[in-house]
Structure 1
Amino acid sequence: MQFSSTSVGRTPPTLLTLVLLSGMSALSINLLLPSLPNMAVHFDADYKIMQLSISLYLLTNAVLQILIGPLADQLGRRPVILGGLALFLLATLGCIYAPNVETFLAFRMCQTVIVVGQVLSRAAVRDMYEQDRAASMIGYVTMGMAVVPMIAPAVGGLLEESFGWKANFWLPFGLAALALIPTYQDFGETAAKSGRSLLQQFREYPELLTSPRFWGYAMSSALSSGAFFAYLGGAPFIGTEVFGMTAAKVGFYFGAPAIGYFVGNFISGRFSVRFGVNRMVFWGCWLNAIGVALSATLFLAGLGTALSFFGFMTFVGIGNGMSIPNATAGSLSVRPHLAGTASGLSGAIMLGTGAALSALAGALLTQDTGAMPLLWLMLTTAVLAIFAITAVIRRERRLGL
């Protein structure tokens, strides 16, 4: 393990700190979902405009991750994470006191700075462990993180009905303020400063972008998670408009994939070292596709219900819990000396794809269409993920890796 000169007297972060930092990013995405219909009313905006608080968030998140990786490789993980938490607090206050939807969306995009926790917790794990062990540890980190999206929509729905939509921003504000304390005390530096300027760091992107292995891992993660991001964009509408559910009930059902994600991450933590990252990603992508296919089959047969729609999303969660940690570890291991840059770039690809799919899902759905446009979109991305990891496996076999 490497330590910078600024880390004297500090130890590497504990698993609990890494889970906390990753969870803050997930919380900021999921907590407000049940509030979107009522927020549209508050700001006198169309639901499709309000839904941009998800798709624009993901898009800005993707762009920011491109910057975070090189910045953290240059300055170290610790100062970037602490600065990100402080900026998140200011952006959240901006969301709470926004006078109109345009101002709200601007501060909402600024909230994406919290992604430093997710990007750099993964990079810190890769700093400390080799590929398969890193996949296992990332699995445990994201297993703990999965608790957040499991309960966040339900909590968000209850807060919405009890105190109004602003409560879904006061909660992450308070938690981020509290998170500053253990982060400052526990997150010792895990990587030596690169000693290179940001421009020099960016010049190393071609080393990753020209690697077929990096693209294979990054796209299998992006496309596998793409089914979930499409769900993020469309499921609130399906729940409220198609099935006539309340915000609290949508929030309760919405956590179904997070339950699966928790299980999938446990499987990753337990078996990645034994079976290797490629097999885990391959099996995860298949489970993801099977879950969506089963749900679509029921709707085509006229038997689809809210329970089946949300229930089969647990398969998507399990698949993502197996594929994402292992694909992430794979992409970070292509060029270990660029772990921070690779973490940011692979995350940017995943979230950029997710932003597009989330926006597309919101645009496709009307009360007349029902759930099928969303399910077809999810199934397409799930199948493409299988092709992406299969290409990696075949190439490694051909090269004898």
Structure 2
Amino acid sequence: MTRTESRIEHPASQAIEDTNTGRAAVTPRLTTLILLSALAVLPVNMILPSLTKIAAAFHADFALVNLSVAGFSIVTATLEAIGGAISDRFGRRPVVLTALTIFIIASIGCILAPDIGTFLVFRSMQACIGPCYSVALVIIKETSDEREAASKFGYLAMGWALAPMVGPLFGGSLDEFFGWRASFVVLAGLGIAAFLLSIRELRGSRAPLSAARRNYLASYGLLLSSARFWAYTLCMACSMGVLYIFLGGAPLTIGDALGGSSARLGFYMGMVPAGFILGSYLAGRYAAKIPLGTILVIARLLTCIGLSVGLALSLSGATQALALFGPCIFIGIGNGLTMPAANSGAMSVQADMVGTAAGLAAAMRIAGGALIGSIGGLFVAQSATIHTLFALMLISALLALLAALWAAFVERHARKPG
């Protein structure tokens, strides 16, 4: 059996052969897939600058309104796993169109909500857009070989990382000039644009027949019984754990070195997502030429080296902001290299369960990273020192490196003939 490969950058009118279904499938443009992936994360924090005004508009407690952010993330993690499996059963196109339809309705509902309860219901419904990121990964995976997919994942991850970076700035500007509802008007408009593009470009997508006959629990069981899947997923989870420890601990430990300036803290913390974009670019540029296991090991070594330097500087008494935040940029670079390669590897475990693998890996990555971040937060709260923060991040980074070495070993073993 052979796969007719096609570059994702080709026009949408170019068709490829879907070997699972025996029918032609149209390859969407990369820009369309980037829009789907960005739209899956943009709503998470675009409304952050508007939370106080939303609370005032509905005469609600701020903590209750804040559920619109935390609840969104929880629902998204759950739907990631479910949406991937459903796309294997019914196809990629129906899942994307259904998710976008619900997202558009939910965005309009947030605009018209008369009270906080109705607003929170529609806000939770917006999380249905989450699986679009996994489906975008799946579509790339189905139209590329393993290394080429990792390269394209890198470019996709750049858009996925930029969205949450510009989201608060964009949402805050809309709020200031037009009011908090303007953010949801824009989200609804982006949803409509993505829906129209998806109708045009996501054609010829049908689920593999073998996956259609398999129940969801059996699919999850097959993936969870694979050492390769666990190696790639644990690498992603521990890598995300490093980021979550940093996000939760940096304001508490390093913030004092900046004289209590929130603006300076935000600027320096932005070095990590900037590093992620750089790492994603490097993955897009070179992942097609290097084995996935090698990329993972290099990525995790970079993070461990950077954090080791940061730990050494903090133990030596360095208090300069650049000396403390500079090494943290390697968190972003390492994660930017790790996620495309690990996603590609996890989705290669079962050829007829690519969607299920993408969704389950995403859910496990989010849940595992959050768990590690929570545990790290407990230690940081007890000993709020800079070297404690670096030590905890380094421990999680070392665990990710071990998982990367495991993945490289399993990958090499799987490629041996006979």
Residue 209 of structure 2: SS of its match in structure 1?
coil
1:379 to 394, 407, 411: 394
1:14-25 pair list within 5 angstroms: 14-25=29-40
Rate the CA distance shift 1:240–1:395 in 2: closer, same or farther, 3 A. Answer: closer
Sequence identity (%) = 33
Counterpart contact for 1:32–1:156, Cα < 8 Å: yes
Q: Residue 158 of structure 2 aligns to which amino acid in structure 1?
A: M
Q: Are 1:188 and 2:219 counterparts?
A: no
Question: Could you tell me which residue of structure 1 aligns to residue 75 of structure 2?
Answer: 60
In 1: Cα distance, 2:179 partner to 2:86 partner: 37
2:329 to 311, 314, 318: 314
1:2 to 18, 25, 28: 18
Question: Could you tell me which residue of structure 1 aligns to residue 3 of structure 2?
Answer: none
1:174 to 186, 189, 192: 189
Report which structure shows greater RCO (CA 8 Å, sep ≥6): 1
1:200-239 pair list within 5 angstroms: 200-233=215-248
Q: Residue 134 of structure 1 aligns to which amino acid in structure 2?
A: A
> Alignment RMSD, CA only?
3.8
After alignment, is 57-66 or 156-165 more displaced? 156-165
Larger radius of gyration: 2
Rate the CA distance shift 1:165–1:142 in 2: closer, same or farther, 3 A. Answer: same
In 2: Cα distance, 1:30 partner to 1:305 partner: 30
Rate the CA distance shift 1:354–1:396 in 2: closer, same or farther, 3 A. Answer: closer
In 2: Cα distance, 1:226 partner to 1:159 partner: 32
Question: Could you tell me which residue of structure 2 aligns to residue 343 of structure 1?
Answer: 358
After alignment, is 35-44 or 325-334 more displaced? 35-44
In 2: Cα distance, 1:345 partner to 1:240 partner: 36
Rate the CA distance shift 1:313–1:5 in 2: closer, same or farther, 3 A. Answer: same
Question: Could you tell me which residue of structure 2 aligns to residue 44 of structure 1?
Answer: 61
In 1: Cα distance, 2:110 partner to 2:246 partner: 24
Q: Deviations over 1:22-70 (max 9, x none)?
A: 1112212343456668878984345xx7776555443332221221112
| TM-score (ref. length: structure 2) | 0.79
Question: Could you tell me which residue of structure 2 aligns to residue 112 of structure 1?
Answer: 127
Question: Could you tell me which residue of structure 1 aligns to residue 301 of structure 2?
Answer: 286
Shift of 1:258: 2.5
Question: Could you tell me which residue of structure 2 aligns to residue 75 of structure 1?
Answer: 90
Counterpart contact for 1:261–1:317, Cα < 8 Å: yes
Q: Are 1:276 and 2:269 counterparts?
A: no
Structure 1: unaligned runs, 5 residues or longer? none
In 1: Cα distance, 2:65 partner to 2:326 partner: 26
Shift of 1:343: 0.7
Counterpart contact for 1:58–1:354, Cα < 8 Å: no
Question: Could you tell me which residue of structure 2 aligns to residue 258 of structure 1?
Answer: 273
Q: Residue 211 of structure 1 aligns to which amino acid in structure 2?
A: S
Q: Residue 2 of structure 1 aligns to which amino acid in structure 2?
A: D
Matched residue count: 396
After alignment, is 389-398 or 58-67 more displaced? 389-398
Q: Deviations over 1:164-186 (max 9, x none)?
A: 66555444333223322222222
Counterpart contact for 1:157–1:249, Cα < 8 Å: no
Q: Are 1:356 and 2:346 counterparts?
A: no
In 1: Cα distance, 2:129 partner to 2:79 partner: 10
In 2: Cα distance, 1:84 partner to 1:19 partner: 16
Shift of 1:136: 1.3
Counterpart contact for 1:147–1:262, Cα < 8 Å: yes
Rate the CA distance shift 1:134–1:175 in 2: closer, same or farther, 3 A. Answer: same
In 1: Cα distance, 2:85 partner to 2:75 partner: 17
Counterpart contact for 1:131–1:330, Cα < 8 Å: yes
After alignment, is 184-193 or 16-25 more displaced? 184-193
Question: Could you tell me which residue of structure 2 aligns to residue 142 of structure 1?
Answer: 157
Q: Residue 389 of structure 1 aligns to which amino acid in structure 2?
A: A
Structure 2: unaligned runs, 5 residues or longer? 1-16
After alignment, is 147-156 or 259-268 more displaced? 147-156
